[in-house]
Structure 1
Amino acid sequence: MQLTERRSEGLLRVYDVRVPAAELQQKLTAKLTEIQPRARINGFRPGKVPVAHLRKVYGPGMMQDIINETVQRSTREGLEKVNARPASEPQLDLKSDINKVAAGQEDLQFELSLEVMPDFEPVDLKTISITRPVATVSEAQVDEALNELAKAQRGYDDKDAAAADGDAVVVDFVGSIDGEKFDGGAANDATVVIGSNQFIPGFEEQLIGAKAGDERTLKVTFPEDYPARNLAGKAAEFATTVKAVREPKKGDPDDAWASQLGFDSLAALKGALRQRIENDHAGQSRAKAKRVLFDKLDEEHDFELPPRMVEVEFNQIWRQVEGDKEAGRLDPSDAGKSEDDLKAEYRKIAERRVRLGLLLAEIGRKAKIEVTDQEVTQAIANQARNYPGQERQIFDAYRQNPTLLAQVRAPIYEEKVVDYVLELIKVANKDVTREELFAEDEGPATGEADGEKPKKAKKTKVAKAED
């Protein structure tokens, strides 16, 4: 194999690779000689088929395999030879006539282009400090979760009276705006639990006092931030028929009820609920700390980025933006902006993601962090459980597709690097309420000076992209 560097511009490297035809033919002859003792072809005694005949019968298919193997091996050995660290998957451009190569009439030539890792030194992690929001779990939260579980598990009894707060009302409804029905605005036998806030504001409350057989027109207004932008902020009417009213079954949670759910006692059930809520808090606390950490790392580093990687990342984000736009889900902050302005904003987000990805990869490399096959297998198993009866097909799909395996390995690697970084930096905990912990995005509060309730900051484009 001969490898020659043809271009070196910034992080881009382009190499010409040549593998002599004689080398490929030598490999083919070796393979044919290997199978000759086992070959069985009509008209020849077992093991006595001439190599020339085997070449005619099996040569084309074998040569194709040899070419594929040679390209992969040459790529790997070539990169090792020039000590190149690819920042992304190398691209190959075949320059030879593959039929002539297979026939031994032409050398195998291809162009190998790639972007290499930029040369930079990560900041001393011990100099970074962040604040991590944490929220303790109160007894009231546990009791609330217990009551919700009891309500869901105990079910409902039919009620021959008017619906009240907490009751479940079974209804048929058809929605319309300005007299015109809209997609997704109708349902039959829908269960509406009054006070659950599962429907748009005002819908559930207007069912209070309703009885089976009643017909009501519920007048509501879709929230301004409603996901379907074609409905956001619009007034609507729902022609509703009440089919049944049900009330929660009576009885407070007790040890006997807890045992029906598989717990030794009510105290054990409450302990499990507390642990679940604490896990939720810990996960959200880590997610917010991770985002703050990423902001810090992004601020501390500025190095050349591989253009191809940025372009791939940007295209991925932009496809999502276009999909949201077509579905009427475009972020309100993007409304009214030109396409050029939007592309400029989202390209900066793509650059941030690439920068952080390369930085985490370099930190992990220096710390010798690796993802084990067992961790990858466990992650695939977790995904396969979502497809009962198809687990084997899921595992086979991942084994046969290196790209899918890489998609499983990447987030595991990222989380391990983040864990490593969080151990080294200075992390100060800040006590917050559960509401503050689970707010979409932390931002400067407004209106506190004059006693108004602080407004919740909207999630930034960067946060949405990283989600």
Structure 2
Amino acid sequence: MQVKETQNDGLKRGYQFTLPAADLATAVDAKLKEAQPEVEMKGFRKGKVPMAMLKKQFGQRILGEAMQDAIDGALKDHLEASGDRPAAQPKVEMDNGDSWKEGDDVVVNVSYETLPTIPEVDLTTLSLEKLTVPAEEAAVTEALENLAKSSQSFEDRKKGSKAKDGDQITIDFKGFVDGEPFEGGEAEDYPLVLGSNSFIPGFEAQLVGAKVDEDLKVEVSFPEEYGAPHLAGKAATFECKVKAVKAPKEAEIDDELAKKFGAEDLDGLKKQISERLEAEYAGAARQVMKRALLDQLDKKVTFDLPESLVEAEASQIAHQLWHEENPDVQGHNHDAIEPTDEHKALAVRRVRLGLLLAEIGQKAEVTVTDQEMTQAVLRAARQYPGQERAFFEFVQKNQGAQQQLRAPIFEDKVVDLIAEKAKVEEKTVTKEELEKAVEALDEL
């Protein structure tokens, strides 16, 4: 295979590979000879089919395979010899594809952008702040109060009392549309909290003031966008029988409440809440430190970037932000979205930092373990309840999906590695100060 350089401009590379016709013919003959002992053909014993017959029967397919093998092998050898690392799959095109015929040399043009040489960074020169927020008593108390509200019970009001907003009433009901009962419109001993908005709009408001043993008719209309098309927008009447009216009663903040949430006593529950809050604060503080780390790395290094990677990243950013601004549009059935200068600037930063972190991680031999990948798949599968098995099979067969799950784990491990070598100063701050720091991340 003859190789001639046709482009060497920045990170762009171009080469012309020429495979002499004689070498291709030799490769085809070698493949046919290798296959000959196993070939069976009518009129010939196994392994005794003449080469001329084999070439007539299988020559074109073997020719294509030999051509592809030769090109793939030449490209592999070239990359190993040059040390180039293509930023994306190299583009391979036959130079004489339209006019090529058997007996001609095979000429292909190969082009790609190579990954840049990334400069070393002295990680010990980075200075970072690690924010620490202790779980304040007020935050623990607020969490306890929320748990008590979520654990509220209901107790019967005095006989003859009217139901109030927030009360729980027990009802039998039967619904009618156009005078006919409809499927799913009937229930007995149904507990309904007034004001919970769990029923059709307007239903609960008409039960405020109801008493035990009272019979009521509730007149409502199903929403136009109701899930059952045959009911959407229809007027309905519900015949209701009130069987109980109960007032809300918040749970006491005591040992009994603690036991409901798996703690031995109230002190144990407070400890659990403190640990959970501090874990949440630590996660937020880590994001703040990670941004500061990336900002410093971005200022410390500069190198040429493959245009193809930047363009792809800018398009992805523009597309993602467009969908965030147009949440009602599903799929990709929309006009082309052109990246702005802001999108391109963000893409440059992301590609530069992505390549830098990959280089640091590779040199430090950072890897993502099978156990870490399994945990990532399990977390992602929870987003598809009832379809977990299908999701697992999709990930197993899809290299792109695996990479999407692996990339953030790898990045976080590299960030941890860098933080270990940087100068890190711990700083205790309030919850409010941490919240401001997190909010500032979105402003950048």
Give me the TM-score of the superposition, normalised by structure 2.
0.68
1:398-437 correspondence runs (5 A): 398-437=395-434
Shift of 1:60: 4.8
**Structural mapping, 1:307-318, within 5 Å:** 307-318=307-318
* Mapped partners of 1:99, 1:381: distance in 2: 50
Q: Are the aligned partners of 1:22 and 1:104 in contact in 2 as well (CA < 8 Å)?
A: no
Report the counterpart of residue 232 of structure 2 in structure 1: none
Q: Distance in 2 between matches of 1:382 and 1:404?
A: 14
**Conservation of the 8 A alpha-carbon contact between 1:133 and 1:285:** yes
Gapped regions of structure 2 (runs ≥ 5): 171-189, 197-204, 211-215, 219-239, 330-336
CA–CA distance in structure 2, aligned partners of residues 49 and 157 of structure 1: 93
Distance 1:78 1:406, change over 3 A: farther
User: Which residue pairs with 1:297 in the alignment?
Assistant: 297
Q: Which runs of 5+ in 1 are unaligned?
A: 171-188, 196-206, 216-242, 330-338, 444-457, 463-467
- Look up the match of 2:88: 89
Residue correspondence of structure 1 range 10-21 to structure 2 within 5 A: 10-21=10-21
1:144/1:106 Cα in 2 relative to 1: closer, same or farther (>3 Å)? Answer: farther
- In the other structure, the counterpart of 1:454 is none
Quick one: which amino acid aligns to residue 128 of structure 1?
L
Aligned to 1:360: 357
Aligned to 2:131: 133
RMSD: 4.5
1:108-123 equivalent positions in 2, closer than 5 A: 108-123=106-121
Distance 1:392 1:32 in 2: 44
Q: Matches of 1:396 and 1:24 in 2, distance apart?
A: 41
1:138 and 1:403 mapped to 2: Cα distance?
44
Say whether residues 1:282 and 2:282 are aligned partners.
yes
Structure 2 partner of 1:175:
none
Aligned partner of residue 7 in structure 2, secondary structure? strand
State how far apart, in whole Å, the 1-side matches of 2:367 and 2:96 are.
Answer: 41
Q: Mapping of 1:139-150 within 5 angstroms?
A: 139-150=137-148
Task: Kindly state the Cα deviation for residue 398 of structure 1 after the two structures are TM-superposed.
Answer: 3.6
Give yes or no for contact 1:17–1:110 (8 Å, CA) kept in 2: yes
Count of residues in Structure 1 that have an aligned counterpart in Structure 2? 382
> Partners in 2 of 1:108 and 1:98 — Cα distance?
8
Question: 1:161 — aligned with what?
Answer: 163
| Distance change (3 Å), C-alpha of 1:98 and 1:50 | farther
Q: 1:436: how far off?
A: 3.0
TM-aligned CA distance change 1:323 to 1:393, over 3 Å:
closer
Map 1:16-35 onto structure 2 (within 5 A): 16-35=16-35
Match of 2:306 in 1: 306
Post-superposition shift, 1:14?
Answer: 1.5
1:174-253 paired onto structure 2 within 5 Å:
248-252=248-252
Report the CA distance between 1:439 and its aligned residue.
Answer: 3.9
How much identity, in percent, do the aligned residues show? Answer: 37
Taking structure 1 as reference, are residues 285 and 193 closer, same or farther at Cα in structure 2, changes over 3 Å only?
Answer: farther
Q: TM-score, normalised by structure 1?
A: 0.65
Does the 8 A contact of 1:169 with 1:194 survive in 2?
A: no
Bigger Rg, which one: 2
Greater alpha carbon shift after TM alignment, 312-321 vs 30-39: 30-39
CA distance in 2, matches of 1:93, 1:321: 33
Q: Shift in Å at residue 5 of structure 1?
A: 1.9
Quote the Cα distance in structure 2 between the aligned partners of 1:8 and 1:440.
46
For residues 157 and 66 of structure 1, the distance between their equivalents in structure 2, rounded to whole angstroms, comes to 83
Q: Give the whole-Å Cα distance in 1 for the aligned partners of 2:73 and 2:417.
A: 34
- CA distance in 2 between counterparts of 1:20 and 1:93 reads 17
Secondary structure, in 3 states, of the residue corresponding to 2:109? strand
Q: Distance in 2 between matches of 1:121 and 1:318?
A: 29
Give me the whole-angstrom Cα distance separating, in 2, the residues matched to 1:428 and 1:374. 32
Whether the 8 Å CA contact 1:305–1:355 is kept in 2: the answer is yes
What secondary structure sits across from 2:251 in the alignment? Answer: coil
Matched residue SS, 2:340: helix
1:360–1:263 distance in 2 versus 1, CA, 3 Å:
same
1:103-138 CA-partner distances (Å, limit 9, x unpaired): 854444333222223344243221121223221113
Q: Is the CA contact 1:90–1:112 (under 8 Å) kept in the aligned structure 2?
A: no
Comparing 376-385 and 305-314, the one that deviates more: 376-385
State the Cα distance separating 1:275 from its structure 2 match: 2.9
1:370 to 367, 376, 379: 367
Give, in whole Å, the separation in 2 of the partners of 1:431 and 1:214: 60
Partner residue of 2:225?
none
